Structure 1
Amino acid sequence: MNKNNILIICCSVVLAFAGCKKDSVDYRYPKPFDGQQVTLPGVAGTELGVNAANGVFVDFSKGLVTPVTRANWDLGLYPGSDFKVILNHTMGALAVYSGQTSFANVLQADSIKVIESLQLNAAGSAALADPVTGTPTEYLSKLTTIEVGENEASSKIYIVNTGYAGLPPMTTAVPATPTTPLIPSVPLKRPWFKVKVYKGTNGYRIKFAPMSNDNPSFTEFTVNKDLSYNFNFFSFNRPSPIGEPAQSLWDIQWTWTTSNTADGKAIATHDFVLINFLGGVTSSEVMIKDQSAKEYENFDKSKLAGLTYLNTREAIGVKWRSLTPDDRPVVNRDRFYVIKDADGNFYKLRFVSSSNADGGVAGAPVIEYRLVEAAIIPGTT
C-alpha cells in the first residue's frame, strides 16, 4: 500500500467520525412550564364554596390543573415496602376497632354504641382520624387508625364512618358570592361500613360490608401495589376510584380536609394546601417585609440562597389564609411560597383571592405561580 492510499484511508476515517458527530441528536428535556395565574375549580355543582366537592391538584412544571371529586375514594393503600392504610381525610372519615375479627359478630348495635365518638369535633376523635402532618417518615409512622393484618383470620374489623362530604350534620350557609342566594342547610350523611384489611400476594386484600344490616356476608376485593402513585385508592361504592393524579403529575393540592386541635379533636378544615411530600416536593415560606417593594414580583434565582425548605405535608397548610368571623377565607398578603419540585425546578407561588371577602369566590381560589429557576437540563455529549 503506497502513501497516497494510506492518506486517503485516514481522511475517510476522520470524515466518518466528523459525520457521526454532526448527525448526533440533542436529547434535551422540554423546558418546564413558565407559570400562570389560574382559578382552581373546587366547586363541582351547587355546593357552598367552603364545602367544595373537588380537591384540586396543580403540577407547576407541566401547567396541569386537575380537579378530583373528594368522595371518589374511601381508603388509600400505601404501595411502598410497608403496609399502611389511610382514611379519606378529605371527607372527614373516621374509624374505630370493633373488637372483633368475624363479620358475623359486628352488628348494627355496635355502630350505635360508638355513634357519638365517631364524629368530627368529638372528644378524642383525633385518634380516630389519620393525620395530614409531618415528614414522610413521621406521617407514615402515624398511620395506625386501621392496621393491616398478616392474614384474614387475625385481621381486625373496623367500623368506618366514611364522612359527611364536608358538611357537618347541619351547616350555616355562607354565600359563595355577594349575588348567590343562601342555600338551605341540609344534612348530608354517607353510609358506615365494617372493614378489615390484610396482606395479599402483591398488595392488599379488603373485606367489607355495610353496617346497615346484620347479615354476616361481605364483599372481598384485591388492590395490587402500584408505585406510580403515592397511594392506591379503594372505594366501597365505585370501581377503579381516582383519589389523586400519579405521583409525578402534581406538586400541591388545595382541598377540604381534617386537622387536629390541641385538645385531641379532629375538625373540618377548608382551603387546606398539601404538598406532594411523598413525591419529593418541598416548600419554603417567604415573609414580605415591604409591600411597596413588590418582593414577590422581584423575587428571582439570586434570592433562592438561604431559604429553608420543609418536606412536611402541611408545609403550606392554612398559613396562606385567615378566616373572617363568618368562616370565609381571606388571603394573607404578607407571604408567598417557593416550591422546589421533584425535578429540581423552583417556582414562586402566591394566592390571589379565595372568597368574596378578598375579591374572589369561595371554592374557586386564584393562584399565581412563576418559574424562578429551571433544573439543569441534560444535553448531548
Structure 2
Amino acid sequence: MKKNILLQLFCLSFVLFSCSSDDDNGGVIQIPAVESAVLDIESGGSNEPNQVYIDLSTEETTVVRRDSWELGFVSAENRVVLNSSILVAAAKLEGIYDIDAVNNETSLENAMSLKTLNIDNFQTNEVKVTNVGELIAGLPIGYAMYGDLESGIYFTDNSTGDLDKTAIGDIATAEAEADVFVVSLGKEIPEDPAEQGSVKHTGDDRGFYKIKVFMDNNNYVLQYAALSADTHKEVVITKDEAYNFTAFSLKKDKEVNVEPTRESWDLNFTSVYSYYGSMGGMIAGLTYSDYMVHNIYNGVGVYMVLTEEPGEGEDAAPVPTGQPSYDEFSLQDVEESQLVYDDRTVIGSGWRDAFPASLKSDRYYIVKDADGNIYKLQFTALLSESKERGYPQIRYDLL
C-alpha cells in the first residue's frame, strides 16, 4: 500500500529549493530518505511472473517480466550472467569454436564425466557425455541436472552472485578464442494459476540456443542462434556503467530494459531463483519461489535478526534469543559487522514457510544502503486476502 510520501517529498523539495542558496549547499537539493513505509510487492500472483526492484529510500519500485531476458552483460567486469529467475543454464563446448557447425549431433572434443541425481532413489549416479545431444539432456535446471561441484563443473551462476563463479566464466578477447556455449533458455511462465496457497512458476521448456561471446575493446560481441540453425546472428553490446548489466533477449533478438540504474535499487524480489548447489546434502539443480536478493554490486549490505530458536525436542516451545522485537529494535542495536555484502541470498525465501504457506514471525532484516541509510525490514504478508500466493508485503523503517 503506497502512502502519499512522494507528494510530501515533492512539497518538501520545493520548499528546500525556494529557501536554499549556493552558499548553503551548492544548489544541490538533498531529498530525505523515506522514514517508514508499507509496500505491496507486485510479484503477480501464484505464477510469480514479475521481478520487482525496490529502492527503500524513495519507496520506488520497478516491475519487469522475468521472462523478458536470458543474458546479462556486466558493466564493471567482463562477465555474462544468466537469468536464474527463468532457470537459464549454459555449458561450454570446450575447444569448439565454429558456432554454425554446432547442433544436436556435434561430438565434444573431450568426453565429460558428470554426476546426476537419480530422482527415484535420490542417489548420485555417474554419467559420461560425448555429444551435444547427451549434454542437453541434463542441462535444464532440476533435480536430475548434470554437474560435479567437487570438480568445479556447474552450468549455472553461483548462488551468491560472485562474478568470479559464473557459468560462462572468462570472456575471450578474440573471436577465434571464444568457445561455443549451449544455453538452456529455462522455463516458460505458466498462465493457469496454482491451487490456493501454492505456486506454479515453471512451465514448458523454452528450448536451446548456442552462443559465442568475446570482447572487442570494451564492448561485448554476441553471436547466437537456435541450436539447430546453421547460420547465426551477431550483435555488439556496449557497457553502460550506470547499470549493473545490460540485458539481452535471445528470443526477441534485442537488448531489453530490466533493472534500474545501479544506484536506484536496494532489493530485488526476483520471485523465482535457481542454481546448481547443495540442499540437505543433496547436490542438484534447485529452484525457489518467493525469493529476494539485495544489490551487492552497489554496496548494499543485509543481515537477519532472529528472535527465537527451536527448542530441544519435537514439541518443545521456541527459545528466545535475547534479540529485541522488530518494534523494539533501534539504531543502537545495529551490529554493522554482521552486514553481508558479498552474498545476495541472505533474505532469499527464508522469510516464509512453504508447507503450509505462511510467514515466519521469528525474524526480520537489517539493510544498509549505499548512502549509509540503515533500515529494519520485515515481511508482513505472503498471501492475498483470498489466500493466493505471490502477494508479498513488507514494512520497513529508517533507523
For residues 351 and 213 of structure 2, the distance between their equivalents in structure 1, rounded to whole angstroms, comes to 37
1:89-168 aligned at under 5 Å gives the runs: 89-99=84-94, 100-110=96-106, 111-120=132-141, 121-125=143-147, 127-133=154-160, 139-165=162-188
For residues 248 and 306 of structure 1, the distance between their equivalents in structure 2, rounded to whole angstroms, comes to 21
The residue that corresponds to 1:38 in the other structure is: 39
Identity %, equivalent residues = 24
For residues 171 and 159 of structure 2, the distance between their equivalents in structure 1, rounded to whole angstroms, comes to 20
Calculate the TM-score normalised by the size of structure 2: 0.75
Q: What is the deviation of 1:186?
A: 9.1
For residues 250 and 176 of structure 1, the distance between their equivalents in structure 2, rounded to whole angstroms, comes to 31
Q: What is the deviation of 1:359?
A: 8.1
1:278-357 aligned at under 5 Å gives the runs: 278-289=297-308, 295-305=325-335, 308-311=338-341, 312-324=343-355, 329-355=357-383
For residues 186 and 277 of structure 1, the distance between their equivalents in structure 2, rounded to whole angstroms, comes to 27
2:265 maps to which of 234, 250, 258: 250
Q: What is the deviation of 1:342?
A: 0.4
Which structure is larger by alpha-carbon Rg, 1 or 2? 1
Change in Cα spacing, 1:366 to 1:252, as seen in structure 2 (3 Å) is: same
Q: What is the deviation of 1:91?
A: 0.9
1:162-241 aligned at under 5 Å gives the runs: 162-165=185-188, 174-176=194-196, 187-211=203-227, 213-215=228-230, 217-238=231-252, 239-241=254-256
CA contact (8 A) 1:42 1:56 kept: yes
Change in Cα spacing, 1:177 to 1:36, as seen in structure 2 (3 Å) is: same
For residues 24 and 185 of structure 2, the distance between their equivalents in structure 1, rounded to whole angstroms, comes to 53
Amino acid at match of 2:194: V
CA contact (8 A) 2:90 2:167 kept: no
For residues 87 and 202 of structure 2, the distance between their equivalents in structure 1, rounded to whole angstroms, comes to 17
Q: Normalized per residue, which structure has more strand?
A: 2
Root-mean-square deviation (CA, aligned residues, Å) is: 3.0
Q: What is the deviation of 1:55?
A: 1.0
Deviation readout 1:209-240 (Å, 9 max, x if unpaired): 111x342x110001111111111211113323
Q: What is the deviation of 1:268?
A: 1.3
For residues 279 and 38 of structure 1, the distance between their equivalents in structure 2, rounded to whole angstroms, comes to 22
The residue that corresponds to 1:376 in the other structure is: none
Q: What is the deviation of 1:146?
A: 4.7
Change in Cα spacing, 1:269 to 1:115, as seen in structure 2 (3 Å) is: same
Change in Cα spacing, 1:348 to 1:78, as seen in structure 2 (3 Å) is: same
SS in structure 2 at match of 1:57? strand
Calculate the TM-score normalised by the size of structure 1: 0.78
For residues 306 and 252 of structure 1, the distance between their equivalents in structure 2, rounded to whole angstroms, comes to 18
CA contact (8 A) 1:97 1:156 kept: yes
Q: What is the deviation of 1:161?
A: 0.5
CA contact (8 A) 2:100 2:232 kept: no
The residue that corresponds to 1:24 in the other structure is: 23
Amino acid at match of 1:267: L
Residue 49 (structure 2) pairs with residue 53 (structure 1): yes
SS in structure 2 at match of 1:24? helix
SS in structure 1 at match of 2:30? coil
The residue that corresponds to 2:68 in the other structure is: 72
CA contact (8 A) 2:196 2:387 kept: no
CA contact (8 A) 2:138 2:145 kept: yes
CA contact (8 A) 2:273 2:289 kept: yes
The residue that corresponds to 1:271 in the other structure is: 290
CA contact (8 A) 1:76 1:88 kept: yes
Q: What is the deviation of 1:369?
A: 1.1
Q: Where do 5+ consecutive residues of structure 2 fail to align?
A: 1-19, 107-131, 309-319
For residues 22 and 140 of structure 1, the distance between their equivalents in structure 2, rounded to whole angstroms, comes to 44
Q: How many residues align?
A: 329
CA contact (8 A) 2:187 2:202 kept: no
Q: Where do 5+ consecutive residues of structure 1 fail to align?
A: 1-20, 373-381
For residues 332 and 31 of structure 1, the distance between their equivalents in structure 2, rounded to whole angstroms, comes to 31
CA contact (8 A) 1:93 1:161 kept: yes
Amino acid at match of 1:118: L
